[in-house]
Amino acid sequence: MLPTSATYEDVMATFRWIVPTAYNIGIDACHKWAAVEPDRPAILQAHPDGTFETWSFGRLSRAAHRLSNVLVAEGIARGDRVAILLPQSPETAFAHVAVYSAGAIALPLADVFGVEALTHRLADSGARALITNRVGARKVAEIRPLLPELERVFCFDGAEDGAIDLAGAMARASDAFAPVATLADDPALMIYTSGTTGAPKGALHGHRVVLGHVPGVQYAHEFLPQPGDLAWTPADWAWAGGLLNILLPCLTLGVPVMAARFEHFDPDFTWDLIARHGVRNAFVPPTAMKLLRGAGSPRGRHAIDLRTIGSAGEALGRETYEWAKAELGMTINEFYGQTECNLVLGSCAKIGVTRSGAIGKPTPGHRVAVIGADGRPVAPGDTGQIAVMRPDPVMFLGYWKQPEATAAKFLGDWMTTGDQGIVDEEGYVFFVGRDDDLITSSGYRIGPAEIEDCLAGHPAVALAAVVGKPDPLRTEIVKAHVKLAPGFSPSEALVAEIRAHVRNRLSAHEYPREIEFVDEIPLTTTGKVIRRFFREKARDEAARDASGVRRGGRAPVTR
């Protein structure tokens, strides 16, 4: 637990990790509360008609025990991988609790995944069982011949496409179950990386990962829990952001979590949900925050009563940070981490740790630095790689069946992130960009995040993706791919206006020499821009340019 303090220095000085040898996520996040406060609200399921259904910890625990008994009866043993392919719902929550209680390893999968994404993760992990609904069961039925290790598919919506009727099996099972005695370092959870730079890898975590997240969540949400706190995120619970930044830590702290299902992020739906159900603590990824900003202020339309907003996953940027202060009267607490080691840098406005454009400072209990190629911290103002010192409770155990990739992740005892950053004299860390995303132009090293943030400040820009395009004179030039906001159309005049907007606000070497208007900006399921797609496209364009083939595009692109 994070001690309540008035200053950052006090928090850092007084915090100490207490990680017991024996620890099980299922017990800490659910069963302990069911034993002492069975009626305490755990999950609030929001329905499309505006009503919601409350699941208490007692009800959640009984359902989890029934599911644990079903899993064990069907041959699932300690260490087996059990995939969970479900949307935000009470079923997702108690499925996680059941898997951890049974000593198995949970493999969360986003319900938006197509068959190719599912095939890779299910085959690579060697999952023996899958817990899903009718939609998921039908998807997996297509690829099941490719998954010889997948022995059981459990479906909440009944037996079909080779699936077991899970609701029926649970109704026949006992609601008493003795959780497996696990150690804090025993494998519990495997989350696949988002795949922004290559094939997704399975990051295996121990049970301690939830304990490791608790103080960081408390920090970003200004000493959670407070009376009346209710947490929600639009992020899928299959992502580390939804699962480990909200669901499991909040349940561990006894804070109820709102569950809501929607196919596409919608700003009006979001504000209505927050207002209607009294959400007090929101984790909203930067892409979603930018969409909220683009839709305008909720003032006069929705009576929101948020206490805290946290954001992570990509760089938030100054534009969105300042918009929230002006239009919401709130300071967004940005934080940082990776699937492999999450929530290690952050902000907490309540104790004065906040700065426009900065991620924040090391969160309590974590040793984080910006290091050079020699593994030593760089001087303030210099660019280096963000790295985390081991051991650390939130750090992964390793990549699944990839010992070489695991070893390559470390430089001595520093876990490297592949993200470039700068630390200032006061200890604030600023995100520059991923190693693969950095642009080398006329001798400058340029990060795309700041340019994308600046572009998003133009009223015509809904989203943007910035990459380096090979250039014989400058090594690379900055190229921006822009999705226009409603009401705007591509034109040479708009290209010039957007370029001037960036040049005037940043610098002459950072403005995009080429701008191309696109219909969509491809995102990962976690809301991160897939810049790899645009980098490859830019390289192909440069090769065609060199051979004299005229480039395409929806609108002229100019240098």
Query: Would you list the DSSP string of 468-499?
Result: EEEETTTEEEEEEEEEEPTT----HHHHHHHH
**How many other CB atoms sit within 10 Å of the CB of residue 445?**
12
Check which CATH number belongs to the domain holding 452 and give it: 3.30.300.30
- The total domain count for the chain is 2
Among the listed residues 96, 54, 37, the one whose alpha carbon sits nearest the alpha carbon of residue 259? 54
Give pLDDT tens digits along the chain (559 positions).
888 889 999 999 999 999 999 999 999 999 999 999 999 999 999 988 878 899 999 999 999 999 999 999 999 999 999 999 999 999 999 999 999 999 999 999 998 888 988 999 999 999 999 999 999 999 999 999 999 999 999 999 999 889 999 999 999 999 999 999 999 999 999 999 876 556 789 999 999 999 999 999 999 999 999 999 999 999 999 999 999 999 999 999 999 999 998 777 888 889 999 999 999 999 998 888 988 988 888 887 888 999 999 999 878 888 899 999 999 999 999 999 999 999 999 999 999 999 999 999 999 999 999 999 999 999 999 999 999 999 999 999 999 999 999 999 999 999 999 899 999 999 999 988 777 777 877 666 677 877 888 898 899 999 899 998 988 777 788 999 999 999 999 999 999 999 999 888 776 678 899 999 999 988 776 667 788 888 888 888 888 887 765 444 444 455 4
Among the listed residues 88, 147, 92, 86, the one whose alpha carbon sits nearest the alpha carbon of residue 116? 147
Q: Map residue 541 onto helix, strand or coil.
A: helix
Which of 165, 180, 206 delimits the end of a domain? Answer: 206
Let me know if residue 349 belongs to a domain: no
Beta-ladder partners of 259: 45
How far is CA 498 from each of CA 33, 458, 493, rounded to the nearest angstrom?
54, 7, 9
CB 82 within 8 A of CB 71: yes
**Angle, vertex CA 30, rays to CA 24 and CA 31, nearest 5:** 75
CB 233 within 8 A of CB 259: no
pLDDT number for residue 525: 62
Residues 6+ apart with CB under 8 A from 32: none
Enter the tokens of residue 429: 């860390």
From the number of C-beta atoms within 10 Å of its C-beta (0-12, 13-18, 19+), residue 1 rates as: exposed
CB 345 within 8 A of CB 367: no
Angle formed by the axes of helices 286-294 and 267-277, to 10°? Answer: 100
Which of 206, 236, 257 delimits the end of a domain? Answer: 206
Let me know if residue 446 belongs to a domain: yes
Let me know if residue 415 belongs to a domain: no
Check which CATH number belongs to the domain holding 172 and give it: 3.40.50.12780
Q: Map residue 264 onto helix, strand or coil.
A: coil
Let me know if residue 95 belongs to a domain: yes
pTM of the model: 0.84
Among the listed residues 91, 69, 81, 34, the one whose alpha carbon sits nearest the alpha carbon of residue 170? 69
Which of 206, 225, 251 delimits the end of a domain? Answer: 206
Let me know if residue 354 belongs to a domain: no
- Structural domain that includes position 468: 438-546
Let me know if residue 430 belongs to a domain: no
Let me know if residue 260 belongs to a domain: no
Enter the tokens of residue 534: 């645009």
DSSP 8-state class, residue 511: S
